[in-house]
Amino acid sequence: MTTQTDKPDNSEVPAETINASSKRAILVLLLAVSLISICAIIYEIIIAAVSSYLFGNSVYQFSITIGLFMSSMGLGSFLSKFFNRYLVNRFILIEIIIGVLGGVSSIILFNAYIIVESTVGYLLVMFTLIMAIGTLVGLEIPILTRIVAQYESLRVTLANVLAFDYVGALIGSIAFPLLLLKYTGLIQTAFIIGFVNVLVAGLVLLHYWTDIEKRARVVVTVVLAGGFLAVASAYGGRIGVWLESNLYHHRILYSKQSKYQKIVVTERNPQTEISSKQPSADSRQIKVTNRGGDVRLFIDMQLQFSSVDEFRYHEALVHPAMTLAENRKNVLILGGGDGLATREVLKYAEMQRIVLVDIDPEITEICSSHNAIVALNGGSLSHPKVTIVNEDAYIFVERERANQTFDVVIIDLPDPNDEGLSKLYSVAFYKLVGDILNPGGTMVTQSTSPFFARRAFWCIHQSIEEAGWNTYAYHVEVPSMGNWGFNLASKTPCDVTEIRLTVETNFLTDDFVGAMFKFGKDVAEVETRLNKLLKPVLIFYYDDEKWRFY
């Protein structure tokens, strides 16, 4: 029996003809099915994850990637009917091409983002890559099924192939978030998975050694592709560092993929020494002695702060709400894992307790220990009055509203560029925050840019109002971030013109505070739909074309 030609699809192979050699062949092929299924699902996830990492809106990125990938697989399955001879050779060639293309997929996408500098251009590259890999993946299973069908009945073949295919998909979908993303990252993972594809090609080559046409050429191709991907896998970490340096343009001081997000700390001028006097246990005033050479924190490529001007953002975020609150003894900070808002709150002598809730222990750990960041936040996260809770802010507020209350709630979360973050800007969430706030208390939330994402900003404002708050919008210029907005809210009416600062600041003055609550024509309020848990319109408002100028 030769394996290089088709056998009729309706053939039934008698059980007695399946000898030990045939069983080994079936086992090899079913193992190949599982491995290529693992590779296919991980390529899908990598492409969607890279696009989410670069552009946000993970629902959109994953939906487009999965839909296009599946339709391309259908195209590949259709094209497989034209493959009538040399099935093993062709399967090996397909695995090599998928391995190389999938292995460099994340590098292609990152470089497209860097070089093309156009969303449309990036999408063209992304769609082409998805369709190419998807079509090739669609060829794999039909060809393997026809090879396996030479050893057992079509009925049994289909059952076994599909079962191993689904098991492989499950393994891949679990392995990526739990192991690969955390320990090898997007670049190195793509190379490793590409190598697995070529490994499958090598496995099939060895098993069907005597049936391979033009064996020497196939061997050389497998060795070269496998060698390239093996070396690339070994140096994947260094390649990732090089790519990140091109993405961020500054020297990278720290880079880590946590369970939740990619954390990167950069510095423009590394020779500038940053220092800060650490606060004593009873210190209430925290001063930054040197802002250094523009230290920046990025989460999933989104700028969180620049050391050059972060005080503008954090003073504007914290002090209006702290000043208007009737009491300032107990403060809840949701997000703000960098400790910079906490630094500002610690300036108030009457403050007794700060609870900081940030979902990611990695971010609070680095901002408690990295010298460049500790120099900026004054060691605020290690202050004895500060309690850090690493938990989802929604879950914390929903649970603790029955157990404790606060005088001020400061919400310093990342921008709402995906559905997970959007819920923390929803009407339902703001109602929960109202339950955890003491009478006479205030709440403030960062609300993205009223210039770059005008509808998103006013959507947040109107969603807070819908939750029953008296809401006051304001904004400030932060050079590294542009025109940035906030929403101050209270259960009782406030007079924002009466705000008088009582602590030392680097930027705010009494006169300027009042000016922050005035808006020009191009950023004035517009009507929007409300952001709700089951209708997260905010993530679509946030996806504004003006961001491309930022």
What distance in Å separates the CA atoms of residue 224 and residue 219, rounded to the nearest whole number?
Answer: 9
What distance in Å separates the CA atoms of residue 514 and residue 510, rounded to the nearest whole number?
Answer: 7
At residue 427, what is the residue type? Answer: V
Token pair 């009223």 is found at 450
CA distance from start to end of the chain:
64
What distance in Å separates the CA atoms of residue 286 and residue 289, rounded to the nearest whole number?
Answer: 10
**Catalytically annotated residue among 358, 412, 415, 544:** 412
At residue 62, what is the residue type? Answer: F
What does residue 544 show for φ and ψ, rounded to 5 degrees? -100, 140
Give which of 470, 450, 425, 448 is closest to 526, Cα–Cα.
450
What distance in Å separates the CA atoms of residue 157 and residue 285, rounded to the nearest whole number?
Answer: 73
Using DSSP bridges, classify how beta strands 406-412 and 262-267 pair: parallel, antiparallel or unpaired: unpaired
**Cα 189 from chain centroid (whole Å):** 16
Say whether 543 is catalytic: no
* DSSP classification of residue 277: P
Structure tokens at 268: 């423009």
What does residue 472 show for φ and ψ, rounded to 5 degrees? -130, 115
What distance in Å separates the CA atoms of residue 19 and residue 151, rounded to the nearest whole number?
Answer: 9
The answer to whether 473 touches 485, Cβ cutoff 8 Å, is yes
What distance in Å separates the CA atoms of residue 160 and residue 26, rounded to the nearest whole number?
Answer: 10
What distance in Å separates the CA atoms of residue 175 and residue 185, rounded to the nearest whole number?
Answer: 12
Give whole-number Cα distances, 4 to 10, 91, 114, 147, 375, in Å. Answer: 18, 11, 44, 8, 68
What distance in Å separates the CA atoms of residue 47 and residue 102, rounded to the nearest whole number?
Answer: 9
* Segment (H or E) for 264: strand 262-267
What does residue 442 show for φ and ψ, rounded to 5 degrees? -130, 155
**Cα 204 from chain centroid (whole Å):** 36
Relative orientation angle of helices 119-148 and 58-79, to the nearest 10 degrees: 40
Using DSSP bridges, classify how beta strands 406-412 and 437-446 pair: parallel, antiparallel or unpaired: parallel
Catalytic positions = 412
